[in-house]
Structure 1
Amino acid sequence: MLADEMIAALNAAQPAVFALMDYWTFDGWFALRRRLKEAGAPKLTKTVFPGIELRLVAPMPGRLNAHVLFSDAVADQVLHDFKAALLLEIVDRPLSDAALVSLGRAASDDKLKVHGFKRAEVDADDERALLAGSTIAEINCDSYKRAIEKVPNGHAIGFMPWDTNDGLSEVKWHEHYAYFLGLFKTSPIFESRNIDLRGAFVGEVTPGNSKYIKNFQDALGNVPRLAVSGSDAHCFVGVKGDNDKRGYGDFPSGKVTWIKADPSFHGLLQAIMEPAKRSYIGDRPQKQVEISENKTFFIDSVSITKIPGSAPNGTWLDGTSLPLNPDLVAIIGNKGSGKSALADVIALLGNSRQKTHFSFLKKDRFRGKSGDPAKHFTGTLAWLDGSKEERNLNEDPPEEKVEFVRYIPQGHFEELCNSHVSGRSNAFENELRAVIFSHTDASIRLGALDFDQLIEEQESSFRHQLNEFRKDLRRVNQEIAGYETQLQPEVRSSVQEQLTIKSRQIEEHNKIKPEAMEKPADALSVEQQQAATSLETISSQIRDLEKSAVFNSTTALVLAGKLKAVQNVRERLRLLDRAHTQFVEDTAADLTILGLQASELLTFELNQQPLDELSLSIPVEQERVTTSSRNILTEQQRLLREQAELNASLNAPQLAYQQNLKSLADWEAKLAELTGAPDAPETLKGLEARITQLDGVPQLLQAHMAHRAKLAGEIFDILDAQRKAREALFKPVQNLIQGNQLIRDEYKLQFQATLGGSADGVATSLFDLIKQNSKEFRGEDESFATVRRLAEEYDFNARADVLSFVEALHGKIVAAASTGNKNAVGIGAVLRKDKSASDVYDLLFGLSFLEPRYSLLFQDAQIEQLSPGQRGALLLIFYLLVDKGRNPIILDQPEENLDNETVVSLLVPVLTEAKKQRQIIMVTHNPNLAVVCDAEQVIWSTFDRKNASKISYLAGSIENPAINGHVVNVLEGTMPAFNNRRTKYH
């Protein structure tokens, strides 16, 4: 039977949906329908719509074709009524075979001749007359439009060819504007095989239609139209390469029409409402190519079963078996209906690391005491490549398991965003790092396995520079702290008081100076004369020995200094040698790549022989000085004994004279001791030198502070160079953003490398060092608020601002330290126990609170300036559009904290764009989101607590009547407030 051949051809052909289009009649459809109702008829596995092809009266050189497509549920009588509503021109009769016969015979001889008919045969033969009438017939355009409108329940759709044979584009619209516009606006479907025209109909800008699409859409009333490319098959099975003998499923030039919808009339209506998202003309849609080439990245199905023989503690998820669409899957249902349960299970089976954010599979819920009832259930996740992952629902995936899905629960959003803003966590930055690394070219990675390794390779020189500059800064800060200590008022007061006392001591000492006696004139015996002469010689020798002792003491100090200097130089040389060794080790891999040796770049040689010689000679000289000092002491003691013996032989006058000489010598020695030298700190000259030294400290302090500011600026320059180096890593990501119009123009999404510094982070470190008990630093809250307010005044990415910030903060600390003592210098008064001023200065001027950080700029605003909901949405954009990962994404309540306007303007376009590349499974409390995102699959969840705690799921498309009804029910009987919702609910 011919109908059976048709059914076999339909079943064998690739398309899932067909439309039978016969000129002027539904006979083919009626024949198919009759056969399918007969006993023993073959089974039709495809969807077939009835249709009819017509010609309309039109102001054009040729003839205007028109099509009408009907629901496969339409009654036969409706089709008969439709034909009867069409008026044939010329004869002004409803369309019927009899009317067509009448039209054929009413035609003039010339008209018949043009179409290859003869008057005689048309008049004599009804079949020829019917054929002639069918060939020349044209339908009144208004009756065509009215007939479509009269079909009940919207089960008829006008379908106009555009630039294919006898299409509407051939009408000169500027001359017949009303006629053209009437059909242009009332046809939901147009046929075109031109990609630019297809874009113009569905509302997508292409390079080829950018100049006219606005006017084109204006003419359509800004309602997109579905564009299709029909096969125009004329036989069941075609002849390959012969366009005149195309069969079912053969498309001209490979321009296949793809519609993403249920193979039903509801599905077609859905595609008409969302033509850009739901249709494609070409060999294969890109998403289909993605799926077929990357099956390991798409989940096929999820199932959950109760372990046989387990305790009868409820049905729960037992029997769940759901196929999952590779595009956007929306899980909806009333609160507490089991939506998140399904998301948690899929995440668990996909080895997600987000178990801490599970809302269903956690200890106080499904994984209760002893793991009940979760431990009685097993889940299985099947992938399109045929692989499966099975796990008990009470067991977490082993740590070594690769994460196959990216689960983004609402709690994870909030934790990442809020912790980033407060500076408590760098998890957000780690997410950015992973994405940046995924976009980095292999020529930049050079073997690095992750971002941290890449940074380690690229930034080792920056870190080395920072370490060196901060070492210098630490030394300068220690000297500054020392100068500040010297400038304390009490230090000068103490020295001044000591100087006054020392002057008074000298003054008093001057008062007791012995008067010099005249040398006795009495004649001396020979023996006495010899004794006097010897005494004078001994006195001279004692004075010489005292001078030698002083010289030895000075020499000993010099030698000790030299020995210490040798030790210092040796240590410096050791560090230099270590630095050279480190350089050779650090550059070994790079030098190997370059084919060079370190010795070709630098010559390094240590010569410690001079130090070795000094190390030997200095101790020898020290021993000589020590021996000399002992000998001097021995000789002094001998001379003193001899002096005492000689004094005993003198007469009274001579003895008195010698004693006077000794008293004068002792007095002079004491005066010399009190007067001292500049390097003797307890003497008059030493104290005067100390005062002079204190007079010069302010200048030294200012010079050191200027040097410190210079070092801080250089440290900033290194950090900024480090930031710029990291910024270069963003280039591939920024290129991706520039290539995505949605991200670039609408969201203005930008990666930024900034010098981040948390005010709270600075404050926490600072208040570990200083007390919070004075001025602006009194109390915990006020202290932190002071630092926050100050930080808000400065841009940490600007050199001048950063230096001004640390100087201003330093000024506030100094002010707090001067409370109660306005003359105090430095910050010693506010230091905590065992903390030093240099520790504080190292923190501030070493800029240790600054480091290169990654951030996202969203619509010209920093993430810190966005609301929690906006931050979550931003992160979602980042995950969905920038993340290079291909794994399925599971979203839990992405609309949380967003108003309806933001959902529509931000979230919907992002989800729509993202599902082009990967599978998205979304839990939402708001079915509107599923509707406006045009989810390819909706899963409706219910939880029957009275029926053994049974959780059930029903899956289908939005256009599926059952699912559509549940969407409305979840909305509590109300329709959402989106502009296009009316077209999506039945």
Structure 2
Amino acid sequence: MISRGSQWKRWEPHIHAPGTVLNNQFKGTDAWEEYLTALEALTPKLEALAVTDYYVTDTYEEVLRRKQSGRLKDVHLIFPNVELRLDVAAKSGFVNIHLLVSPEDTDHIDQLRRILTRLQFQAYGDRFDCTASELIRLGKKADINITDDLVALRCGATQFKVNFNQLKEVYHQSEWAKKNILIAVAGASGDGTSGLREAADKTIRQEIEAFSHIIFTSNASQREFWLGQRSVNVKMLRERYNGCKPCLHGSDSHHIDTVGQPVAERYSWIKGALEFDALRQACIDPEGRAFVGAEPPPSAMPSQVISSATINNASWAKTPEISLNKGLVAIIGARGSGKTALADMIAAGCDSIPQYAWNGSENTSPSFLARARSHIGDASITLNWEGGNESSRLLNGKDANGHLSFPRARYLSQQFVEELCSSNGVSDGLVEEIERVILEAHPLDERNGAVNFSEFRGHRTSRFQQSRSRETEAISGLSERIAIEIEKDRLTTTFSAQITQKKTLIQGYNADLAKLVVKGSETQVKRHAALSEAAQTVRGKIQAYTNQRRTFISLQDEVASTRATKAPELLRQAQERHGLSGLSIQQWDEFLLIYKGNVDNSLADYVKWTDNQIAELNGLPATLGDTNAPTIADDVELSTLNLSTIITEMKRLEALFSADKIVRDQYSALTNRLGQENATLKALDEKLLDAQGASARKGQMQTERDEAYKRVFEAIINEQSVLSELYAPLMERLSASSGTLSKLGFYVRRVVDVNQWGAYAEEHLLDRRKTGPFNGKGSLTARAEEMLRSAWEHGNSEEIKAAIKNFVTTYLSDILAHAPYEKQQSEYRGWLKSFALWLYGTDHITIRYEILYDETDIRKLSPGTRGIVLLLLYLALDEADDRPLIIDQPEENLDPKSVNDELVPLFIAAKAKRQVIMVTHNANLVINTDADQIIIAEVGPHQAGGLPPITYRAGGLENATIRTAVRDILEGGETAFQERARRLRVRLER
């Protein structure tokens, strides 16, 4: 027996037939032919029929005879619906109640009549039983003019009223009735309980509805009420009304034009086999098994449903073809019966077994296919998909995982769970799966084409990471410049002292020079001094132009290098950072950095110009003539002369100072030395002026650095916010969850390693041997903990900027006291830069997104708990994946209460949107999930050198044989059934 189990079928729970006792509008000699033809032509196809009549079963019996003669071939279940009128007045008449009777008992008609006989009506000083003959007698009593029995029957039916309390008593006193009859009552206002609106009727209305198993209504709000989804919850329904109720709707047809045609196509759908027990199961699970609408509730997409599996070339597979339900399929059986074998084979047909599983050892692998590889031979599996496709794979794995293959199902085998959730610390796979679910929780148009979470995260955060990198680089440059300014500021005193020394030295040289002057040559000496000053000025100009020329040459080199290397590399980096721009190569060429003007010609002209200036200032070499004849007239402006002319005149004058060559040489040497010293003094004056402005420049740059540090944290905080947004869709779902699922959380936070930050400085930057507040190990870290951690972890950019500024103001001088170099040492400047880079660095601050379960990082959980998280992930959170979900023993690592409280509702929700196939030993996962199909695996004697024969049989929980197998095979089977019956207050029969 291989049945697909519980499937949605159209039922007609309330329809009359020709000859119905009251309001019979089926006319003509061909009424029955027209009636049956109308039923056979219905669309959607009608497969279960409850033939309704008042107090009697005559029309039901006639339909059975017609069925036996070959009519109503598509209708596989026909049962009686006996309509009774209670002695409770409704808005327009009396409340009608229905007895839906199981036809499984071959004696059910006689048994039903026996029950009806116990219902009595007192009138005319007599007692009338609920039988056809008694109704005729009542009719003739009510109207003495009636002589026809059929007319009397109809009259009696209008008069006979069933006492509600008597009906309850008769029902509860009969074991047969409780086993074979379901009570339905109309929810409408005309002849239903909604007509009991007066306050005095509230109790009787509640009593009638509590006694009933089924409510006849097509009203959506009433259906929601009876499912506990409105003002009254499920618990209250159990307390007041004996639980939830399925709502059904029939055509209540009394006329050929309305046969099987309820208003607005409000058809009744029951999920289950075409047997009366399916109706009982609908009373147990009204939401999952009963529906009113034009079509049954949507479920898994046809293209993602495996409709059947065929095992080929396998003599050991005694059930080679297995039909599968599109909802929840539970594979059960004793240990070693072939449960996992079927799951493995289906997964193999879906290309869903990873390569490592195929590579497993026959002795150690938990996979059936790996263990049985040597006996499988050329066996294969063919899967037929409801959408019309077919897929086949060898069961030995030789054609598995091809380069074009794609897993068509999600398979959570025991090996997969163990690999993903192992205790060896390798849990990246689990994190990746969670990240995949996070990505797929975002609409497709928000993913910017990202194919994985890492790429998605990169798209969202790259802007801020680049900003952080730029600002960090700016801080580095500013710190280096600040170090230079600090050194300049420190040199102010040095420069002042050197200037004083230099002036004293020059003054001494001038005194020495005066002593070499021969009496009578004072005029020449004065002229020589003026020329010397003029020469010094010209040399300064020549030096300035020479520096300019050197700069222009360097610029030429830089331009060439930028064109050849730097600009193309900057373009490549921009293309990489903005790879999603969609720009073509030609469009990207527009972003190549080029110089606005013709810099090559300009720089060549600048070099030529400086060469001309230098040549003009140097002048052409001059030959010294008559020493008594001046080469420069007295009235010539010396600033207009070139250096060669000035030097020539100076040499002429030097020859006149003394006849002694030695004196002349000393004079010349002193003059040159004075020129050098004056040039040095001028340079020192410039350096002093520059150093005196260092403090102001340093302050400005420190302000800029503070702002850059603030912008670094703006980028960090923005990145943190973006990461938080990535988890928002999933966090919304988790916040609305309860139980184990509510323990799962995603958090984005700034992680600050203050120890790393402080330890680096103590180890690499500070000399703790020096006396001071930071010579103790960890003292710097302790101060940072007090003043910086809180701001780093939780503050905004302005608060962080203020915190670091306060820290620097408070401790900078103390920290500098522990510098490993003295300020005068050349290494101090390099150290100062390194120190600033550390102080304003952010390498110790990271953005970490954490997946926590019960406040514990998922990476630190036990393998079992990771398995629970993984299962929750696929069942509750993985909404985007609509492929079949195949799970081997999901109850592993969960206690029975958690299975019932956590997994059951998740499986119920999952089976509504995707096909779920599970191997299980747990009765709760079968019974309380109301599994749509139970596949029972059985194995025969083991064969020497081969596989034992494996047989499968299947059906739904509405089948008594299947329920018996569930009780006998599964752990806690009997207990699970009893608990479900007790909780739902229903009667469950074998």
Quick check: TM above 0.5?
yes
Q: Find the counterpart in structure 1 of residue 224 from structure 2.
A: 199
Determine whether 1:554 maps to 2:544. Answer: yes
Give the 5 Å matches for 1:99-178. 99-105=134-140, 107=141, 111-112=142-143, 118=145, 121=147, 133-134=156-157, 136-149=159-172, 150-152=174-176, 154-163=179-188, 166-171=191-196, 174-176=199-201
Cα deviation, 1:548-570, whole Å, max 9, x if unaligned, reads: 44542332013223444576689
Q: Which amino acid aligns with 1:621?
A: T
Q: Which amino acid aligns with 2:283?
A: I
Structure 1 residues 413 and 850, CA gap change in structure 2 (3 angstroms)? farther
Determine whether 1:54 maps to 2:84. Answer: yes
Cα deviation, 1:408-444, whole Å, max 9, x if unaligned, reads: 668579969999999996664444334424366xxx9
Contact 2:330 2:920 in 1 (8 A): yes
Give the 5 Å matches for 1:875-890. 875-876=873-874, 879-881=877-879, 883=880, 886-890=882-886
SS, match of residue 930 in structure 2: coil
Segment of structure 1 superposing worse, 430-439 or 703-712: 430-439
Give the 5 Å matches for 1:755-770. 756=748, 759=751
Among candidates 387, 396, 399, match of residue 400 of structure 2: 396
Structure 2 CA distance, aligned partners of 1:808 and 1:348? Answer: 65
Among candidates 357, 382, 385, match of residue 384 of structure 2: 382
| TM-superposed deviation, 1:952 | 4.9
Structure 1 residues 351 and 970, CA gap change in structure 2 (3 angstroms)? same
Segment of structure 1 superposing worse, 466-475 or 267-276: 466-475
Structure 1 CA distance, aligned partners of 2:597 and 2:622? Answer: 38
Q: Find the counterpart in structure 1 of residue 908 from structure 2.
A: 912
Determine whether 1:224 maps to 2:240. Answer: no
Contact 2:502 2:677 in 1 (8 A): no
Structure 1 residues 816 and 580, CA gap change in structure 2 (3 angstroms)? same
Give the 5 Å matches for 1:747-786. 756=748, 759=751
Structure 2 CA distance, aligned partners of 1:20 and 1:946? Answer: 52
Q: Find the counterpart in structure 1 of residue 671 from structure 2.
A: 665
Q: Find the counterpart in structure 2 of residue 276 from structure 1.
A: 287
SS, match of residue 96 in structure 2: strand
| TM-superposed deviation, 1:303 | 2.7
Contact 1:868 1:897 in 2 (8 A): no
| TM-superposed deviation, 1:975 | 1.8
Q: Which amino acid aligns with 1:608?
A: G
Contact 1:770 1:830 in 2 (8 A): no
Cα deviation, 1:125-167, whole Å, max 9, x if unaligned, reads: x777666545533344333222322133622222333428744
Contact 1:766 1:843 in 2 (8 A): no
Q: Which amino acid aligns with 1:141?
A: F
Contact 2:266 2:293 in 1 (8 A): yes
Q: Which amino acid aligns with 1:174?
A: A
SS, match of residue 545 in structure 2: helix
Q: Which amino acid aligns with 1:280?
A: F
Cα deviation, 1:706-754, whole Å, max 9, x if unaligned, reads: 2323432564587589779x78x98xx79xx99x9x996979999x999
Contact 1:332 1:927 in 2 (8 A): no
Structure 2 CA distance, aligned partners of 1:880 and 1:631? Answer: 89
Contact 1:516 1:660 in 2 (8 A): no
Contact 1:405 1:889 in 2 (8 A): yes
Structure 1 CA distance, aligned partners of 2:307 and 2:956? Answer: 16
Contact 2:752 2:789 in 1 (8 A): no
Contact 1:903 1:929 in 2 (8 A): yes
Cα deviation, 1:915-952, whole Å, max 9, x if unaligned, reads: 33433334555431333232222334466784635555
Structure 2 CA distance, aligned partners of 1:184 and 1:836? Answer: 83
Percent identical pairs in the alignment equals 19
Q: Find the counterpart in structure 1 of residue 9 from structure 2.
A: none
Structure 2 CA distance, aligned partners of 1:304 and 1:761? Answer: 59
| TM-superposed deviation, 1:279 | 0.8
| TM-superposed deviation, 1:356 | 6.0
Structure 1 residues 99 and 456, CA gap change in structure 2 (3 angstroms)? closer
Structure 2 CA distance, aligned partners of 1:408 and 1:35? Answer: 51
Structure 1 residues 78 and 307, CA gap change in structure 2 (3 angstroms)? closer
Q: TM-score under structure 2 normalisation?
A: 0.69
Q: Find the counterpart in structure 1 of residue 711 from structure 2.
A: 711
Cα deviation, 1:796-854, whole Å, max 9, x if unaligned, reads: 795557768999999999999989649999xx999999x97788689728x99559x8x
Q: Find the counterpart in structure 2 of residue 297 from structure 1.
A: 304
Kindly indicate whether structure 1 or structure 2 has the higher relative contact order, using CA contacts under 8 Å at least 6 residues apart.
2
Give the 5 Å matches for 1:784-795. none
Structure 1 CA distance, aligned partners of 2:332 and 2:192? Answer: 44
Q: Which amino acid aligns with 1:844?
A: T
Q: Across the two proteins, how many residue pairs are aligned to each other?
A: 899
Structure 1 CA distance, aligned partners of 2:422 and 2:371? Answer: 33
Cα deviation, 1:841-899, whole Å, max 9, x if unaligned, reads: 89728x99559x8x999999999999857854763466454x2x544344556666666
Q: Find the counterpart in structure 1 of residue 120 from structure 2.
A: 87
Among candidates 611, 628, 641, match of residue 622 of structure 1: 611
Structure 2 CA distance, aligned partners of 1:380 and 1:760? Answer: 56
SS, match of residue 83 in structure 1: helix
Structure 2 CA distance, aligned partners of 1:878 and 1:687? Answer: 73
| TM-superposed deviation, 1:281 | 1.8
* CA RMSD across the alignment: 6.8
SS, match of residue 975 in structure 1: helix
SS, match of residue 175 in structure 1: helix
Q: Find the counterpart in structure 1 of residue 633 from structure 2.
A: none
Contact 1:417 1:428 in 2 (8 A): no
Contact 1:759 1:791 in 2 (8 A): no
SS, match of residue 387 in structure 2: coil
Q: Find the counterpart in structure 2 of residue 311 from structure 1.
A: none
Structure 2 CA distance, aligned partners of 1:829 and 1:82? Answer: 110
Q: Which amino acid aligns with 1:384?
A: E
SS, match of residue 286 in structure 1: coil
Q: Gaps (5+ residues) in structure 1?
A: 309-314, 523-528
Structure 1 residues 465 and 499, CA gap change in structure 2 (3 angstroms)? same
Q: TM-score under structure 1 normalisation?
A: 0.69
Give the 5 Å matches for 1:188-587. 188-205=213-230, 217=237, 220-221=240-241, 223-232=243-252, 239=256, 242-243=257-258, 246=259, 249-251=260-262, 254-287=265-298, 295-306=302-313, 315=316, 319-332=319-332, 339-352=339-352, 364-366=365-367, 368=370, 372=374, 376-393=378-395, 394=397, 395-407=399-411, 428-438=434-444, 467=466, 470-471=469-470, 473-484=472-483, 514=512, 516-517=514-515, 548-564=538-554
Structure 1 residues 705 and 102, CA gap change in structure 2 (3 angstroms)? same
Among candidates 185, 193, 209, match of residue 184 of structure 1: 209
Q: Find the counterpart in structure 2 of residue 608 from structure 1.
A: 597
| TM-superposed deviation, 1:305 | 3.0
| TM-superposed deviation, 1:297 | 3.0
Structure 1 CA distance, aligned partners of 2:138 and 2:213? Answer: 30
Give the 5 Å matches for 1:920-935. 920-924=916-920, 926-935=922-931
Structure 2 CA distance, aligned partners of 1:161 and 1:18? Answer: 18
Contact 2:319 2:952 in 1 (8 A): no
SS, match of residue 58 in structure 1: strand
Contact 1:831 1:837 in 2 (8 A): no
Q: Find the counterpart in structure 1 of residue 954 from structure 2.
A: 955
Segment of structure 1 superposing worse, 758-767 or 19-28: 758-767
Structure 1 CA distance, aligned partners of 2:371 and 2:569? Answer: 59
Contact 1:335 1:925 in 2 (8 A): no
Structure 2 CA distance, aligned partners of 1:753 and 1:612? Answer: 65
Structure 1 CA distance, aligned partners of 2:829 and 2:407? Answer: 50
Q: Which amino acid aligns with 2:707?
A: H
Cα deviation, 1:623-668, whole Å, max 9, x if unaligned, reads: 763797697799999999999999999998x456435534643663
